[in-house]
Structure 1
Amino acid sequence: MTKLFATRSALVATMLLLVTPAIAAQQDEEAPPSKPGKPISTGEVLSGELNAMKIRDAKNTGKRIAMYQITSEPRRLPAPNGLCDLETGPETFQLVTSSDAQATQLKSFVGKEISVKVDEIACASDPGQMSEAVVTKWSLVRK
Structure 2
Amino acid sequence: MTKLFATRLALAATMLLLVSPAIAAQQDNEAPPAPKPGKLINTGEVLSGELNAMKVRDVKNAGKRIAMYQITSEPRRLPAPNGLCNLETGPETFQLVPSGDAQAAQLKTFAGKEISVKVDEIACASDPGQMSEAVITKWSLIKKQ
TM-score, normalisation: structure 2:
0.78
Aligned to 1:87: 88
Report the Cα offset of residue 92 of structure 1. 0.1
Q: Give, in whole Å, the separation in 2 of the partners of 1:49 and 1:31.
A: 29
- Contiguous gaps of at least 5 residues in structure 2: 1-24
Provide the aligned length of Structure 1 versus Structure 2: 118
Aligned to 1:111: 112
Aligned to 1:49: 50
Aligned to 2:143: 142
Report the Cα offset of residue 28 of structure 1. 4.9
Aligned to 2:4: none
Q: Give, in whole Å, the separation in 2 of the partners of 1:30 and 1:78.
A: 29
Q: Give, in whole Å, the separation in 2 of the partners of 1:44 and 1:104.
A: 23
AA in 1 matched with 2:92: E
Q: Give, in whole Å, the separation in 1 of the partners of 2:129 and 2:30.
A: 35
CA-based RMSD of the aligned residues comes to 1.4
SS across alignment from 1:129: coil
Report the Cα offset of residue 73 of structure 1. 0.2
Q: Give, in whole Å, the separation in 1 of the partners of 2:59 and 2:29.
A: 47
SS across alignment from 1:105: helix
Report the Cα offset of residue 79 of structure 1. 0.1
Please give the per-residue CA displacement for 1:108-140, whole angstroms capped at 9, x wherever unaligned: 101100000000000000012100000000000
SS across alignment from 1:131: coil
Aligned to 2:130: 129
Report the Cα offset of residue 30 of structure 1. 4.9
AA in 2 matched with 1:45: V
Between 28-37 and 110-119, report the one with greater CA deviation: 28-37
Q: Which 4+ runs in 1 deviate beyond 6 A?
A: none
TM-score, normalisation: structure 1:
0.79
Aligned to 1:21: none
Please give the per-residue CA displacement for 1:58-101, whole angstroms capped at 9, x wherever unaligned: 11111100000000000000000000000000000000011011
Report the Cα offset of residue 33 of structure 1. 2.4
Q: Give, in whole Å, the separation in 2 of the partners of 1:32 and 1:110.
A: 36
AA in 1 matched with 2:91: P
